[in-house]
Structure 1
Amino acid sequence: MKKINSIRIRAACAEDESIWRDMWESYNVFYGAKVPEDITTSTWSALIDPKSSIKALLVLDGSGVIGFANYVLHSYTWSSSLACLMDDLFVVPEARGKGAGKLLLQRIIDMAKENGWTRVYWMTREGNDTARSLYNKFCKVDGFVRYTINLDGIYPSGGNSK
């Protein structure tokens, strides 16, 4: 596939709410998540609040915003530096495979290096081969297994079953 020309990345701002919400909805549909409207609203508010530990980057091409990466900075018990969880990465279907996701992830890694964060990590579904082919270009799977008990019913992971 042809690479995207004139691509750039920037932090999300208040004017991006509508396009972010559209992409957020598509992202949640893909994962089978039913995120209540009040949670989406509070997430968006946090993403653009300079005091929040939750942030968002947007990737744009000549046509406008084509993807986002939401990430969370948090304390980490094995370091005195912050860790970064890239919580969500989404690129609109028509722009996939052209480098937008790679640039988003690389920008987060670059910010981690610039700011002295101790690590950047993320997760995806085991069978999400498209995402995994991108992620495998950055690092190997670390060998940890995640366990989840969902108490809010938003994400149907089956984490409550034995």
Structure 2
Amino acid sequence: MGVQVRRVLATDEAAWSRLYEGYRAFYALDDDARAVRTTWEWVSTAQHGLVGLVASVDDELVGLAHLRRFARPSSATMGLYLDDLFTAPEARGSGVATALLEEAAALAAAEGASVVRWITASDNAAARRVYDRVAAATPWVTYDMKPAAR
């Protein structure tokens, strides 16, 4: 059986949590059960416009993706932003990430979105090989600014 992709279900919480904890560890984020619980609540109930996708092989969840809608004033269109994409280590190289990205593209088409956009670390070579097959890298540089002190 191949990779199956679908929207996240309430019954996915435990398996999704394991995957999301793996995602956080991959990016060297602190263990934070509160962040995992909050993100699950957002994804599972579509808060903040989030769409949660999961990928399974033989009925076992092996990947996740989180997308959200954003306005594109320069083109007067809507886009989908891919916040998180993760494949369990044992399933890497089996087409999970590609299947999740294809579903993101299908969702964008169904919603009339003009783009699916995401960022990744410049040294994430394995992921970038997948991304380079399905999307075009842009010349844009990302910045993060802290909120002003109150």
TM-score (norm 1): 0.83
Q: How much has 1:35 moved relative to structure 2?
A: 5.9
Unaligned runs of 5+ in 1: 152-162
Partner residue, 1:125? 121
SS at match of 1:79: coil
SS at match of 1:41: helix
Partner residue, 1:93? 89
1:14 paired with 2:10, answer yes
| Residues 50, 139 of structure 1: alpha-carbon distance in 2 compared, 3 angstrom cutoff | closer
Q: How much has 1:41 moved relative to structure 2?
A: 1.6
1:26 paired with 2:15, answer no
Partner residue, 2:74? 78
Tell me the amino acid that sits aligned with residue 21 of structure 1: S
Aligned equivalents of 2:47 and 2:137: distance in 1?
Answer: 32
Q: How much has 1:55 moved relative to structure 2?
A: 1.4
Aligned equivalents of 1:19 and 1:51: distance in 2?
Answer: 20
Which residue of the other structure, out of 33, 36, 47, is the alignment partner of 2:32?
A: 36
| Residues 89, 43 of structure 1: alpha-carbon distance in 2 compared, 3 angstrom cutoff | same
Which residue of the other structure, out of 122, 130, 133, is the alignment partner of 1:134?
A: 130
Q: How much has 1:20 moved relative to structure 2?
A: 0.8
Q: How much has 1:50 moved relative to structure 2?
A: 4.2
Q: C-alpha deviations, 1:67-89, integer Å up to 9, x for none?
A: 10111112222233321111111
| Higher share in helix | 2
Tell me the amino acid that sits aligned with residue 104 of structure 1: L
Q: C-alpha deviations, 1:96-152, integer Å up to 9, x for none?
A: 11111101001101111121012111111000000000000012211001112357x
Question: Where in structure 1 do 4 or more consecutive aligned residues deviate above 4 Å?
Answer: none
Aligned equivalents of 1:80 and 1:143: distance in 2?
Answer: 21
Q: Is the 8 A contact 2:3 2:95 kept in 1?
A: no
CA RMSD for the aligned pairs?
1.7
Q: C-alpha deviations, 1:43-92, integer Å up to 9, x for none?
A: 11111114640111000111511110111112222233321111111111
TM-score (norm 2): 0.90
Aligned equivalents of 1:142 and 1:27: distance in 2?
Answer: 24
Aligned equivalents of 1:146 and 1:63: distance in 2?
Answer: 37
Q: Is the 8 A contact 2:54 2:65 kept in 1?
A: yes
